[in-house]
Structure 1
Amino acid sequence: MSNLAIPKNKRVIGQRELVALTAFMMSLQALAIDAMLPALDEMARELGVAEGNQRQLVVAVFLLSSGVGALLPGSFADRFGRRSVAMFCITSYALLSLVIALIHDFTLLLVIRALQGVLSAGLMVLPATIIRDRYEGDQMARLLSLVGAVFIVVPVLAPSLGQAVLTFAGWRWIFVVLAAMAGMAGFWAWKRLPETLDPLDRQMIELPVVMRNMTHALLNRSAIGYVLGTSLLIGAVFGYVNSSQQLIGEHFGMGTWFPIVFGGTAAMMVLSNLVNSRIVERFGARRVSHTGVLAFIAVSALQVLAAFRHDGDIVYFLPLMATNLALLGFLGANFGSIAMQPFAHIAGAASSIQSFFRTFGAAVVGLFIGQSYDGTARPFAIALLICSVLALLLVLYSEKGRLFRRLNAPAKPETKPGGVY
């Protein structure tokens, strides 16, 4: 079923344009993280930052503040509408990017980056909310897969964008480019994005109501296993990202080939998301994702075997890692769609709390895995297996012990929490 409860307005947007617009909105967040990676050294020199690790705060502060900020926009979107909150987030992103381009103090830059992360966090939360307003079930999973496929490309290409800007101008122009791209997204959303919130589902902005909605969205049994399972699986991938330079560049001796090897494995997620978008409506999000998590466990077990028997041989590691990342494309969007399915009336709050736990949970897991690197692929391989097995157990909890079910009819809507107008 599609086009659920669309308020009457003059804007009509098709599936393809909706996917492109929401993916563009999400991509702004990825660009704010990865586009300045090639510029960190230049930023540090110009702003007088001597300590090597201190310059990484430009990225870390934005990530952390975005995670915390994810708790806010969903509830506001449930009260004031998706469109108005989206425009606020895009405008804040653009203006603060221009402010950062003018700053000459590193501490002030970090403060503005933190503020930018909080105020623009809705760009990660709202796309799933908007799609949940319009679509449900396997159709929602298909569209989230398409959004994910576009979004995943950005972190791979963003450093090249930053490097291209540095070829012709200084690091400040990277933020000017980000502001310009936000301006494009804002104009597009202003002209074409409809208000998808049903007026009957508007929520009051009162702390008890917000907390009740978020608690309801988080603790719902059919959702929580998928939310925490996603955190573990994405966290395992974050562990790969955190240790990839040491693992691929040093342990496997790829050296200058590291960016190509890393980008090649990451590209597998793009391909699998596109495949998932083609098959999920035919086979169902549950069947596809449950098969995917079982396959992930099997490949991770082979990864452990390879790490202990053929440690240091990239011929064994690389195909297995590429397969793990490809399988993630059959898990992320489908898990997210299943977790959002019960919350038609509080989609904003549900997306906020789920995004927060996915982001922070994955960051913590990834940090732990990255710090466990001991000069071999063994800790990472073991972590992959543990995370995937735990994810399966969490899914079994949400599914009450039964896998591969397909819900042919839409799930019964949840009882509306108090505070609904």
Structure 2
Amino acid sequence: MLAVLFATVAFSIDAMLPAMSEIATELSPQDTNRAQLVLMMFMAGMGVGTAVAGPVSDAIGRKPTIMLGSTLYIAAAAGAIFADSLTLLLALRFVQGMGAAGPRIAGTALIRDLYAGREMARITSFVMMIFIMIPAVAPALGEVIIDAAGTWRAVFAAFIVFGLVGVIWVWLRQSETLPRERRVPLSGERLISSATEILENRQVMLCTLVLTLGFGQMFALLSSSEQLFDQAYGRADSFTKWFALMALLSGIGTIANARYVMRYGMRRIARAAYAMQIVSASLGLLLVASGALHGDAAFYGFFAWAVSVFFMAGVTFGNLNALAMQNMPHLAGMTASIVAALSTLGAVIIATPVGLAFRGAPTPMMLAALVCSSLAWFLMGKLRD
């Protein structure tokens, strides 16, 4: 069920993908690219929320933080149903992202309370196996909901139901993993001291920067995925099916990581995944620039590259979080908060201009993947297991 809590973020993004064109037509007909901001604002809100969720979870416990965040998430989703302008919808999506940060950060800290190092990476990979199923079905589920209700607003009702399931399960089944004697009271001096310790930790900051680069390239692709399938390859009608297949295939990465991380180590596996993406993005750019592939072949080439991006995410993200937190058990919530806040906001800064640069071809996304993966591969060489 922890995977479902983590998947709040993925579901809140991927279920919106089939609604993007309708939102653009209804709320931003003069500039349809602005509809992408519905995704970006959610991520920005989550970035801000993560800066708060960690210290709060260290002070009051993991379970209450998950409950508070989920409540805010549900309230914002309810308001979004009635949004009559893109500006209001973006504001509510920002608040919804802030709420989603609670389950994400407190859930990560909860795992760190119980596990460490490679074992944490292995457990996180098992969680990711279930987590990956949400992106696989979310666009198709969003499409079914929109078709049945006749409006994109119904997707937000699904968010309410999804949030309620998480809240009820946590309330009834999840025990608190942070005992009172280990809690860190909220105070300005203590927060500054804790944040300083984390920000001065070279391992944590390197992992955060690599996560930013990985998350940025993935989200740049994700935010433009519907437009790519529609405008670049003429597959709007089958978008949800292809997206589901892409997510399921990329889930092989999490399975492989869970199986081999204890043997080969977190750093070695993650660095190999970025090396793979350097090759994949370079080949993709070469094929697009040369025009060597046409029609169905061009689409299948793009699809293979897109799968490689999500495969890379499945292999690297759990390992990098474990690497960042393995030496910070006394500040698990705060560390998870700072890592997630900086990497999420940094990813938005990377992904926003890349997404807005879309002009009918995947070139900006592939170029971003090449640059980000090259930098990530270089930085991974400076990390230790």
TM over 0.5: yes
CA–CA separation in structure 1 for the residues paired with 2:57 and 2:74: 20
> Which residue of 2 is the match for residue 274 of structure 1?
255
Over the residues paired in the alignment, what is the CA RMSD in angstroms? 3.0
Q: 2:270 aligns with which of 289, 292, 297?
A: 289
Q: How big is the shift at 1:65?
A: 1.6
Q: Deviations over 1:63-115 (max 9, x none)?
A: 32222111101001111111111111222323443444466676555544433
Between Structure 1 and Structure 2, which shows a larger proportion of helix residues? 2
Q: How big is the shift at 1:190?
A: 1.2
Which amino acid in 1 is paired with 2:267? R
Q: Work out whether residues 217 and 369 of structure 2, in 8 Å CA contact, stay in contact via their aligned partners in 1.
A: yes
> Which residue of 1 is the match for residue 101 of structure 2?
121
1:212 is aligned to 2:193: yes
> Which residue of 2 is the match for residue 364 of structure 1?
349
CA–CA separation in structure 1 for the residues paired with 2:291 and 2:36: 34
Matches within 5 A, 1:146-225: 146-169=126-149, 171-225=152-206
CA–CA separation in structure 2 for the residues paired with 1:62 and 1:139: 31
Q: Work out whether residues 312 and 376 of structure 1, in 8 Å CA contact, stay in contact via their aligned partners in 2.
A: no
> Which residue of 2 is the match for residue 382 of structure 1?
367
Going from structure 1 to structure 2, the CA distance change for 1:238 and 1:44 (only over 3 Å counts) comes to: closer
1:85 is aligned to 2:65: yes
Going from structure 1 to structure 2, the CA distance change for 1:388 and 1:98 (only over 3 Å counts) comes to: closer
Q: Work out whether residues 40 and 55 of structure 1, in 8 Å CA contact, stay in contact via their aligned partners in 2.
A: yes
Question: Which piece of structure 1 moves more, 328-337 or 214-223?
Answer: 214-223
CA–CA separation in structure 1 for the residues paired with 2:78 and 2:306: 39
Q: Work out whether residues 61 and 114 of structure 1, in 8 Å CA contact, stay in contact via their aligned partners in 2.
A: yes
CA–CA separation in structure 2 for the residues paired with 1:361 and 1:77: 23
CA–CA separation in structure 1 for the residues paired with 2:117 and 2:327: 10
Q: Deviations over 1:327-346 (max 9, x none)?
A: 33221111111111111000
Q: How big is the shift at 1:131?
A: 0.4
CA–CA separation in structure 2 for the residues paired with 1:294 and 1:55: 33
> Which residue of 1 is the match for residue 4 of structure 2?
24
1:340 is aligned to 2:325: yes
Q: Work out whether residues 60 and 183 of structure 2, in 8 Å CA contact, stay in contact via their aligned partners in 1.
A: yes
> Which residue of 2 is the match for residue 302 of structure 1?
283
Q: 2:46 aligns with which of 66, 69, 72?
A: 66
What TM-score do you get using the length of structure 1 for normalisation? 0.79
Going from structure 1 to structure 2, the CA distance change for 1:268 and 1:362 (only over 3 Å counts) comes to: farther
Going from structure 1 to structure 2, the CA distance change for 1:145 and 1:115 (only over 3 Å counts) comes to: same
CA–CA separation in structure 2 for the residues paired with 1:175 and 1:320: 31
SS at match of 2:51: coil
Question: Which piece of structure 1 moves more, 60-69 or 228-237?
Answer: 60-69
> Which residue of 1 is the match for residue 211 of structure 2?
230
Going from structure 1 to structure 2, the CA distance change for 1:201 and 1:396 (only over 3 Å counts) comes to: farther
Going from structure 1 to structure 2, the CA distance change for 1:290 and 1:309 (only over 3 Å counts) comes to: same
Q: Deviations over 1:43-82 (max 9, x none)?
A: 7888x77655465554443332222111101001111111
Q: Work out whether residues 42 and 171 of structure 1, in 8 Å CA contact, stay in contact via their aligned partners in 2.
A: yes
| Bigger Rg over Cα | 1
Q: How big is the shift at 1:259?
A: 4.1
**Unmatched tracts of structure 1, length 5 or more:** 1-20, 400-405, 407-421
Q: Work out whether residues 210 and 380 of structure 2, in 8 Å CA contact, stay in contact via their aligned partners in 1.
A: yes
CA–CA separation in structure 2 for the residues paired with 1:389 and 1:266: 23
Going from structure 1 to structure 2, the CA distance change for 1:105 and 1:82 (only over 3 Å counts) comes to: same
Q: How many residues align?
A: 379
Q: Work out whether residues 281 and 370 of structure 2, in 8 Å CA contact, stay in contact via their aligned partners in 1.
A: yes
Q: How big is the shift at 1:377?
A: 4.6
Q: Work out whether residues 17 and 226 of structure 2, in 8 Å CA contact, stay in contact via their aligned partners in 1.
A: no
Which amino acid in 1 is paired with 2:210? G
Q: How big is the shift at 1:132?
A: 0.6
Q: Work out whether residues 310 and 316 of structure 1, in 8 Å CA contact, stay in contact via their aligned partners in 2.
A: no
What TM-score do you get using the length of structure 2 for normalisation? 0.85
**Unmatched tracts of structure 2, length 5 or more:** none
Q: 2:377 aligns with which of 382, 392, 397?
A: 392
Question: Which piece of structure 1 moves more, 218-227 or 350-359?
Answer: 218-227
Going from structure 1 to structure 2, the CA distance change for 1:225 and 1:97 (only over 3 Å counts) comes to: same
Which amino acid in 2 is paired with 1:270? G
CA–CA separation in structure 2 for the residues paired with 1:248 and 1:179: 28
Matches within 5 A, 1:316-335: 316-335=301-320
